[in-house]
Structure 1
């Protein structure tokens, strides 16, 4: 059985509240639409329809974005509470019925979930009743999205390395594999032809490092700063814009696992630094029965 496309959840509240909440959070209809994976006109229609239906102006519109009104702010606060309570009630009902629905794996460019996907067939052999869906998620490192802190809502599990400063005790973890560090270099760099990179090779270079990318990366960053031979440049997001700027300035980028090789203008070279990065399956603190079965089956296969 192959993973299935995501299907619509039961409407336990007015789904237009999601559009209103996202627009209030992001200050933009277009960014809210991107977050919810709908078109901007469709989201604007939802918000405007709600305003017309209930006679409330929720947002002040301008060319620079939208700003929630006092009345809108009150509605958004209550709406978020309603959405959380509705989702919690649905999860409790499913748990009581012994049906947690499909196990939803969140994936993105930086967390494609390859090991988890490769194990699905064997997991299904152990637990034939399980259903599995793949759900696109945004940047795990975008604090506005809080994917890791809301597992069990939009998605149930995510495969990624872990950062204690970012996520603390927000979820449970099952270690899957350790992956090596890489140095991703512009293809025009002389070092791009090497089969491995050492700290000495990076002497005098600028190396971009994601702040709190994961615990192993934080530890390596401390050592590189103490060594002093590498100019460590802290970055707060990990996306194509990072690589585009790094290529323009001839900088190297510290990567690991699935992060390496994502940009076609860069070459990932193994970094001999004496460290590896643990990769985990992250799942909710209070998983549904189906999610717990999924985790138990994966743990059995890993052992």
Structure 2
């Protein structure tokens, strides 16, 4: 009887000691709490600022887009499409600018008696005169579109004539052809005889040659540049805030994994941790700030039926992931 009493006392002391060690190790899972709370607060703020940047970018882009495309019949508005760096609708992180370098004349050595080639029509002024506006695509970085017939053309070459690539019966092309040798002149609005030659899809189109006084300043490069600059600044802000959020979430994940490892090591001290220790392990982990939206209550887990601490940690991980 005395021997049994001694063994019970030793076992009780051992359990109490292990439980004390368990609590001490589990308390270490609180170590990342303050950094995590700071990271969570920083991430929340970054997400709020990210939304503000998105709204600012959307507002500036909408104003810019409306200003240009509501007046796309004006040649100056079409020219402006070549002055702007566009963001792809299919990929918000991909931007595209008109590749002017592709159509520059090669440098020639005057000592060899070489002469310059005829100037190319594939310039913002040449293309916009012929009715084209810059409309890039992720797979066609120099794509243009006719404002009248809607024709699309990419893979331009210096020798191309933009008048050759309109749809059959394009009203603008019909009106522009008489001025093909005098492209410094604006293409006048269509006459009735020219409308009869045009396709049904374009015969009712028209365009302006004189810029309304209310648009002279707005379609000027300073104003367009200001709007485009606002869009670009918002885009840079988006990239910066996104990088902060990604870095913080990665660091929080590292802290979560560390907390789980500590919980596994602590629970591993007891072959069969009792409910109080297991619940303490889960609650301390949840309160560490790594899973601030998760609430694990005892009623959700039949702790006494769990065979080992590892099983408890698996349940913790599953609950946090949910």
**In which range does the TM-score fall when normalised by the shorter chain?**
under 0.3
Larger radius of gyration: 2
Tell me the TM-score normalized by structure 1.
Answer: 0.20
* TM-score between the two structures when normalised by the length of structure 2: 0.19
Higher percent of residues as helix: 2
